[in-house]
Amino acid sequence: MAVKIDILTLFPEMFDIFNYSIIGKAKEKGIVNINTVDIRDYTLDKHKKVDDYPYGGGAGMVMAAQPIVDSIKKVKESNKGKVIFLGPRGNKFNQETAKKLSKEKELIFLCGHYEGIDERAYKYIDMEISLGDFVLTGGEMACIPVIDSICRMIDGVLKTSESYTDESFYNGVLEYPQYTRPEYFQGERVPEVLISGHHENIRKWRRLQSLKITRDRRIDLFQKLNLSDEDKKLLKEL
């Protein structure tokens, strides 16, 4: 049964990106079903307005509660998943959150716009996610990478689980260096261990490189690691 994802947005065409590459193939295979819902279709305003001036004054416009709430209620008729809002108050998105959400069978994403949404719509939201401490032009910009990172961990989307378990952040470390052909490029050779055919030595080399890169470039991640005895030995040898 396909994982069902509904996206409530003012710009459905922005999500055409999911018709391509790995996610597009997963849709064709029936592994994921990504559907967009235009919030404007649910406004009661005859001019299809979905925003208005904020009470109390201030710059910008605010998305009205009515079209948001009505679109959520309609989607809930066929999708019982969590309603996730892409907004600045949410916890910062990370790989751990992506892993948890990839286990869900149904999800609903709400993309905000303008200066935000009417506070009264929050009671229909189960979870809020932020990409970080910076401003985007709309929730769609944040929603795309969030859904992509979730979908690629759904069973069957990638060829093997190793395709994502070895990647940066999955196990708390940055990914080791990667090389491909040719063996020599501009006088620089691929590390000898990688062409040795010795799988255990390759595994240890990759682990050490991941630890070293994480320590050197993301000390915040490195300090959170629960280093194994082998990790400590590898670092000591380094």
Binding residues: 112, 131-136
Distance between CA 137 and CA 113 in Å, rounded?
7
Distance between CA 167 and CA 211 in Å, rounded?
13
CA distances from 67 to 6, 48, 63, 111, 203 (A): 16, 10, 8, 13, 53
Distance between CA 38 and CA 71 in Å, rounded?
8
Q: State the burial class of residue 73 (Cβ atoms within 10 Å of its Cβ: 0-12, 13-18, 19+).
A: exposed
Distance between CA 184 and CA 179 in Å, rounded?
10
Annotated binding site for S-adenosyl-L-methionine: 112, 131-136
Gap between the terminal Cα atoms of the chain: 48
3-state SS assignment for residue 49: coil
- What DSSP letter does each residue of 207-236 carry, written as one string? HHHHHHHHHHH-HHHHTT----HHHHHHHH
